[in-house]
Amino acid sequence: MGISILCGALFLIVKLAYEWPQKFEHFGAFIKKDAIAKYEPYLGNAHLKEKKLAPRVEISGHLHEVEIDATAADKEKLDVFLKEHDLTSAPDAHDAKLQLVKGHHLTPGVVEHLEKVPGVKLIAFEVALDPVNADPTNPESDKPHFWYKGATEKIGKIQRQDVESWSAFAPKHSPYFAVYFTITGLHGLHVLAGVLIMLYFWLPIEGGANMFKRNPEHLANRVEVVGLFWHFVDLVWIFVFPIFYLL
């Protein structure tokens, strides 16, 4: 039982400390239809058309910098915001009216709040591209991969005016991530409930491990019922995950 509790806790730690936070640091932008051709070097749709595959409309990766027009911005509020989020800004070498904002904490969520600073206008995103956009004609990019591949060193620039919608890989980003967070969230709650119940049976308290001394069969029956429920639901997830993802 201790091993089951440990494995359940490990599962939750991976979800909460690695898998889910990573999604909120990842950036994705859906390009407007009339601007698709402009970003062909990042999308590779001509290559996909030859292969008779669906066209790409999304560019993703990790934010490297964002370009803003701060000429009408509230300077004091902008400076406070940048300081609070450990960001820096510098004039754009090509246009003195624009500023480039960057920093280790430049995530999509931070940029959403930056855009709300009075007078700030978001002009462009500079993104460390995911492999699929850094080398879109690579046949390896035509199929999904089991192992995660991090962002490349190739930087792509996306004009804000060419973007239909953008965000982190959060539930609002697309139906896929809405389903992903719903299903994995429910799965996480299921695992948490099982861990708490088994922890109750495992601890030396009344109704838990102390019951083993008085009535071991009663405790064994309780543990068996919880175990059957826990693993039955696991079997259900095996079918639910593929069905929802395929749909």
| pLDDT exceeds 70 at position 244 | no
**CB neighbours of residue 106 within 10 Å:** 23
Residue-range definition of the domain harbouring residue 241 = 2-16+177-246
User: Which of the listed residues 141, 167, 193 is the one where a domain comes to its end?
Assistant: 167
Cut 0.85: pTM above it: no
How many domains does the chain contain in total?
A: 2
Do residues 203 and 195 make contact, with C-beta atoms less than 8 angstroms apart?
no
Q: How confident is the model at residue 239 (pLDDT cuts 50, 70, 90)?
A: confident
Q: Which residues contact 106 (CB under 8 A, 6 or more apart)?
A: 63, 64, 65, 66, 85, 87
Position with higher pLDDT, 230 vs 175: 175
| pLDDT exceeds 80 at position 214 | no
Structural domain includes residue 28:
no
Structural domain includes residue 172:
no
| Across 12-31, average pLDDT | 95
pLDDT in tens, 31-69: 999 999 999 999 999 999 999 999 999 999 999 999 999
Give the integer Cα–Cα distance in Å for 87 and 2. Answer: 45
| Across 70-83, average pLDDT | 94
**Are 82 and 120 in the same domain?**
yes
**Are 42 and 133 in the same domain?**
yes
| pLDDT exceeds 70 at position 245 | no
pLDDT in tens, 118-145: 999 999 999 999 999 999 999 888 877 7
**Are 220 and 155 in the same domain?**
no
Of residues 106, 119, 94, the one with CA closest to residue 65:
106
Structural domain includes residue 90:
yes
Position with higher pLDDT, 82 vs 217: 82
User: Which of the listed residues 139, 167, 195 is the one where a domain comes to its end?
Assistant: 167
